[in-house]
């Protein structure tokens, strides 16, 4: 029996929902994407959203042309505005990632992904700076400085990987950073700019050398960013990948890396954003669809906020095309939601987190206990990976009532409950489910719910939890105000013994 203290031990950081990842921004034009984002914002409520491809050709921003013999450039925001309008309307703000390179501004032809993002440096740094300035200026004009000041601006994505930045050329990245940071600050000094958005594979020197560079050149930098993943090498099958996974604590270690590596530099005190994290970095690894995945990430969500200012789940929706158009409803996509808004177990983990209170009362290997300002206590608990049954007993303080009762509501996802993936497998893995199958999948994705009443003894209740394999469970406790009248007699209700 773990005795949860009645006194607050700390505050639950909002870092877990400070940001979420998305497929390339062009996808935000889609209806399914926006339907998913609507649901997400209603039930979870992320603060920012970050994705690739702001400047990729599909967004149509950089538009050179000839007129009367001269070359000129339009900067066009037709789609940028549609995307940003949609996000703001749903209460989520851009975390701007500046990239990839417009085809006509690129110095080379190397691309990444099925959708061919160009990953080469600009052929003209002056034109790149114009593009950045024009974009930020437009956003400030349209949405107001007050608003845009709250959108971090990150320079490029994973420049330490040759797939994402031609030759993983550090000097070229530093130059891009310098030009970009100045361009951003030209628009307004209060805009936040940062980088270097390195991958978990970045050698240990990257962050340090970035610090050294910005220090030496006295460049503006408002935050530091890095990614985190824990999967092993990809073992491909058609339209899918299997991988090993390191234990979840490795994610937390990676979250801690920037502060460790930047200790002693002038960047040491800056906000740190993990601008992407997940178990596997593959958008076709079925692990993302499982209850295991929710149980695996639960301790990361519970603790990550101690280490960084944000850690952004990569990504909220399976509307994602880096390896092509998905060929089946469940295909191992990163999404918290499948196409057509079927909620995966990890979605529920986030939705459960969104119901936790501000004040932390206790935290352990398998649980987190919080209290809301109005006194309601909530418990998030999770089973250790690959364990069949797991028990947890908590003595929970429930406020200033010595006696009385508490209403306990429990919501669970595991291998059976809140698990559309299991249902889908049993249905025969229909690649493009029929409407009636989709309805069943939506039902199957509902968490299991149960409730009971507990007696308070000396300001506390005992909460005994048995967790099924890969269960993540949310327990919500509210004091009962009994309004049932004196004359209520359950035994007289059912009309028994009647002869009519």
The closest alpha carbon to 4, from 467, 371, 301, belongs to 371
* 158 flagged as catalytic: yes
Identify the burial level of 223 via C-beta atoms within 10 angstroms of its C-beta, where 0-12 means exposed, 13-18 middle and 19 or more buried: buried
Phi, psi dihedral angles at 228 (to 5 degrees) = -145, 125
Give Cβ neighbours of residue 335 (< 8 Å, ≥ 6 apart).
36, 288, 315, 316, 317, 318, 319, 320, 344
**Measured from the CB of residue 425, what is the shortest distance to a second copy in angstroms?**
7
The answer to the question of residue 387 lying near a second copy (CB under 8 A) is: no
DSSP string for 422-461 = HHHHHTT--SS--HHHHHHHHHHTSPEEEEEEEE-BTTEE
Tracing tokens 């986030």 back to the chain, one arrives at 350
Q: Establish if 124 lies at the interface with a second copy (CB under 8 A).
A: no
450 belongs to the binding site for a second copy (CB under 8 A): yes
Binding of residue 242 to a second copy (CB under 8 A):
yes
What angle is formed at CA 272 by the lines to CA 152 and CA 227, rounded to 5 degrees? 90
Minimum CB distance to a second copy smaller for 223 or for 313: 313
Among the listed ranges 59-67, 309-317, 363-371, 458-466, the one in contact with a second copy (CB under 8 A) is 59-67
Q: What is the DSSP letter of 122?
A: B
Which residue among 17, 50, 226, 339 contacts a second copy (CB under 8 A)?
339
Total of chain residues touching a second copy, rule CB under 8 A = 105
**Per CB under 8 A, does 70 bind a second copy?**
no
Residue 297 engages a second copy in binding (rule: CB under 8 A): no
- Backbone angles phi and psi of 53, in degrees to 5: 85, 15
- Region from 8-16, 17-25, 26-34, 119-127 binding a second copy, contact rule CB under 8 A: 26-34
Question: Does 130 sit near a second copy (CB under 8 A)?
Answer: no
Does 290 help bind a second copy (rule: CB under 8 A)?
A: yes
Q: How far apart are CA 480 and CA 478, in angstroms?
A: 6
Of 26, 178, 276, 471, which is the active-site residue?
276
Nearer to a second copy, 216 or 426 (CB): 426
Residue 174 phi/psi, 5° resolution? Answer: -60, -40
**Known catalytic residue at 249:** no
Catalytic residue among 97, 154, 158, 261: 158
Q: Which stretch binds a second copy (CB under 8 A): 201-209, 217-225, 255-263, 284-292?
A: 284-292
What residues from 305 to 334 belong to the interface with a second copy (CB under 8 A)?
324-329
CA R_g for the chain: 25
- Interactions with a second copy, residue window 182-241 (CB under 8 A): 230-232, 235, 237-240
Between 135 and 310, CB nearer to a second copy: 135
The reply on whether position 77 binds a second copy by CB under 8 A is yes
CB within 8 A of 199, min separation 6: which ones? Answer: 158, 160, 161, 164, 227, 229
Q: Cβ of 387: how many Cβ atoms within 10 Å?
A: 14
70-74 own/partner pairs: CB under 8 Å, 24+ apart: 73/127, 73/130, 73/131
Which of the stretches 123-131, 213-221, 362-370, 485-493 binds a second copy when contact is defined by CB under 8 A?
A: 485-493
451 touches a second copy (CB under 8 A): yes
Taking CB under 8 A as the rule, does residue 449 contact a second copy?
A: yes
Report the nearest approach of a second copy to the CB of residue 74 (Å).
Answer: 6
Which of residues 216, 218, 400, 499 is near a second copy by CB under 8 A?
Answer: 499
Catalytic annotation, residues: 158, 276
């Amino acid at each position: 029996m773990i005795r949860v203290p009645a006194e607050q031990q700390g505050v639950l950081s909002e870092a877990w929902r400070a940001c979420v990842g998305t497929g390339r921004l062009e996808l935000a034009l889609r209806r399914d994407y926006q339907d998913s984002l609507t649901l997400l914002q209603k039930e979870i409520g992320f603060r920012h959203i970050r994705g690739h491809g702001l400047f990729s050709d599909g967004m149509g921003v950089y538009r050179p042309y000839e007129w009367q013999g001269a070359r000129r450039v339009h900067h066009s925001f037709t789609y940028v505005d549609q995307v940003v309008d949609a996000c703001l309307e749903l209460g989520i703000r851009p975390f701007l990632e500046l990239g990839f390179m417009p085809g006509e501004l690129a110095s080379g032809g190397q691309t990444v992904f099925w959708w061919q993002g160009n990953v080469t440096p600009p052929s003209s740094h002056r034109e790149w700076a114009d593009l950045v300035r024009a974009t930020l200026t437009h956003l400030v004009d349209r949405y107001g400085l007050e608003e845009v000041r709250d959108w971090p601006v990150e320079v490029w994505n994973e420049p330490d990987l040759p797939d994402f930045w031609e030759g993983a050329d550090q000097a070229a990245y530093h130059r891009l950073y310098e030009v970009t940071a100045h361009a951003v600050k030209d628009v307004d000094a209060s805009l936040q700019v940062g980088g270097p958005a390195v991958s978990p594979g970045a050698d240990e020197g990257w962050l340090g050398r970035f610090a050294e560079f910005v220090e030496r050149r006295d460049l503006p930098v408002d935050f530091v960013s890095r990614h985190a993943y824990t999967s092993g090498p990809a073992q491909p099958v058609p339209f899918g990948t299997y991988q090993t996974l390191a234990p979840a604590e490795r994610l937390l270690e990676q979250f801690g890396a920037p502060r460790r590596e930047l200790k002693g530099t002038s960047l040491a005190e800056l906000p740190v954003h993990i601008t992407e994290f997940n178990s596997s970095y593959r958008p076709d690894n079925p692990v993302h669809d499982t209850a295991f995945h929710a149980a695996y990430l639960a301790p990361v969500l519970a603790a990550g906020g101690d280490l960084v200012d944000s850690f952004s789940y990569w990504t909220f929706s399976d509307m994602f095309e880096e390896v092509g158009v998905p060929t089946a409803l469940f295909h191992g996509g990163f999404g918290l939601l499948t196409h057509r808004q079927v909620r995966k177990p990890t979605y529920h983990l986030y939705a459960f987190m969104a119901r936790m209170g501000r004040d932390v009362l206790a935290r352990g290997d398998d649980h987190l206990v919080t209290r809301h300002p109005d006194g309601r206590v909530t418990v998030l608990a999770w089973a250790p990976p690959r364990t069949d049954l797991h028990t947890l007993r908590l003595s929970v303080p429930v406020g200033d009532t010595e006696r009385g009762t508490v209403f306990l509501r429990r919501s669970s996802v595991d291998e059976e409950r809140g698990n559309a993936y299991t249902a889908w497998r049993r249905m025969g893995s229909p690649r493009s489910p029929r409407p009636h199958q989709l309805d069943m999948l939506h039902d199957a994705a509902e968490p299991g719910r149960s409730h009971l009443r507990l007696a308070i003894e000396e300001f506390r209740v005992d909460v005994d939890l048995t967790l099924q394999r890969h269960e993540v469970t949310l327990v919500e406790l509210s004091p009962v105000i009994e309004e049932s009248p004196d004359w209520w007699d359950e035994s007289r209700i059912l009309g028994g013994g009647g002869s009519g």
